[in-house]
Amino acid sequence: MLFLKLFRESFLFAYDALRQNKLRTLLSLLGVTIGIFTIIAVFSAVDTLRNNLQSSVNKLGNNSIYIQKWPWMFGGDYPWWKFIQRPVPNMHDYEELKKRSQTAAAVSFEIYIDSRKVKYKSNTIDGAVLYAVSHEHAEVYNYEYQNGRYFTDMESRSGAPVTVIGYEIASHLFPAGDAMSKKIKIMGRYVTVIGVFKKEGDDMLGISADKEVLLPLNFARNLIDIKSEKYQPQIVVKGREGIAEGEVESELRGVMRSIRRIGPGKDDNFALNKTTLLSNQLDSLFGVINLAGLFIGGFSILVGGFGIANIMFVSVKERTNIIGIQKSLGAKNYFILLQFLIEAMALCLIGGVIGLFLVYLVSLAVKGIGDIEIVIGTKNILIGVLGSLAIGVISGIIPALSAARLNPVDAIRSN
């Protein structure tokens, strides 16, 4: 109860300081407000980018490893000359991996055909992204369907002329919305639509199924040379639940070296690429941005802290008589100390709340203009509130101590 009474009284003192010295207090709070705004705005922007990019990465499949010719490498020089002579993954690799791997839940073979034109009667859409995939493709990727289904095992084995298309393809070719069982023309052949993916929308990495067209691999092999490097063949392996990605990667490396008969001491002639490589790069990038925001905001908060300390010293000076009277009536030193310390914390908290409110307003503006959902998050709100309170303690402790140590007689006599 004593603490609540002290807090109420100190908050009223802070309110009086704001009301009586509006300009002085506003300028002092400005540093804290700008600092908290900068830090939380940067943290929120980074969280928003991270969530959007991570959701894009997650579309590639959790615990999935891509067996490709070229490794995913970031930063520095890319030693392409080391990889140019490598063979691309082929059907033999794919079949042997399915037989030998003990840690794989699914093994998929896929090729990127090209961006092609797709037609239905008089309706045409350009830029459809064509993939030819094995039956396990749907087990490796996370797809949701608006209508229909994926290929059956028999359709995949026989190379049936069927396809699954993205939402944007379906909406352009079939404005009425009835795409199922319709025959569309792709690469000079008619194929039947058996499924439509749910709308995903564009993401920051450009990973979306909205313009995809999936064909059974055995259907595509009658139209193109699926062994050709220009189609960028790759094998995607999804690890079993409960098995660490490192264990899956280690087994795949051993199996692939065995399949390709690579001798001991010789380098791999394949790359094992993981989505965690992208995630780690994103974490490193965003870590730097967070530090930059913290550094810039820290300077503003430092200036604001000096401003709050200055206000508190002035407040102690103005209320010296009152302090003397309180002490003469039996007020303890900790009572005086807490009174001014809580006042400093209240002032900083006001500045922090204003900063958080400004971040919220900016997030609403960004959502309205760019249709981007800014993630403020409980963590960032707590950082803003606790950071403000910490600045209040740091900037108010010395003025509060000086007030608590005043001699009551000298304080009463002061003007």
Arithmetic mean of pLDDT over the chain: 82
pLDDT (0 to 100) of residue 204: 56
pLDDT class for 105, splitting at 50, 70, 90? confident
Can you tell me the mean pLDDT for 141-145? 82
- Please tell me the distance from the alpha carbon of residue 131 to that of residue 180, in angstroms, as a whole number: 19
Task: Identify the helix (H) or strand (E) that includes residue 17.
Answer: helix 2-20
- Say if CB 212 and CB 165 are below 8 A apart: yes
Contacts with 58 (C-beta within 8 Å, 6 or more apart), sequence order: 142, 275
- Say if CB 316 and CB 405 are below 8 A apart: no
- Please tell me the distance from the alpha carbon of residue 30 to that of residue 301, in angstroms, as a whole number: 9
Residue 415: pLDDT over 60 = no
Q: Tell me the one-letter amino acid at 239.
A: G
Residue 338 tokens read as 């807490």
Per-residue pLDDT tens for 262-282?
888 888 889 888 877 666 676
Residue 184: pLDDT over 80 = yes
pLDDT (0 to 100) of residue 10: 65
- Say if CB 39 and CB 383 are below 8 A apart: yes
Q: Tell me the one-letter amino acid at 293.
A: G
Q: Smallest Cα–Cα separation from 311: which of 25, 22, 23? A: 25
Residue 114: pLDDT over 70 = yes
Residue with tokens 């007030």: 403
- Say if CB 72 and CB 277 are below 8 A apart: yes
DSSP 149-216: ----HHHHHHT-SEEEE-HHHHHHH-TTS--TT-EEEETTEEEEEEEEEPP----TT---STTEEEEE
Q: Can you list the alpha helix ranges (DSSP code H) found in 319-404?
A: 320-328, 333-370, 377-404
pLDDT (0 to 100) of residue 6: 67
Residue with tokens 């300077």: 299
Beta strands 104-120 and 183-186 are: antiparallel
Can you tell me the mean pLDDT for 241-251? 86
Min mean pLDDT across 108-122, 261-275, 360-374, 378-392 is at 360-374
Per-residue pLDDT tens for 84-103?
888 999 999 999 999 998 98
Can you tell me the mean pLDDT for 218-236? 88
pLDDT class for 315, splitting at 50, 70, 90? confident
Q: Tell me the one-letter amino acid at 354.
A: I
Residue 186 tokens read as 């792709």
pLDDT class for 134, splitting at 50, 70, 90? very high
Report which of residues 283 and 171 the model is more confident about: 171
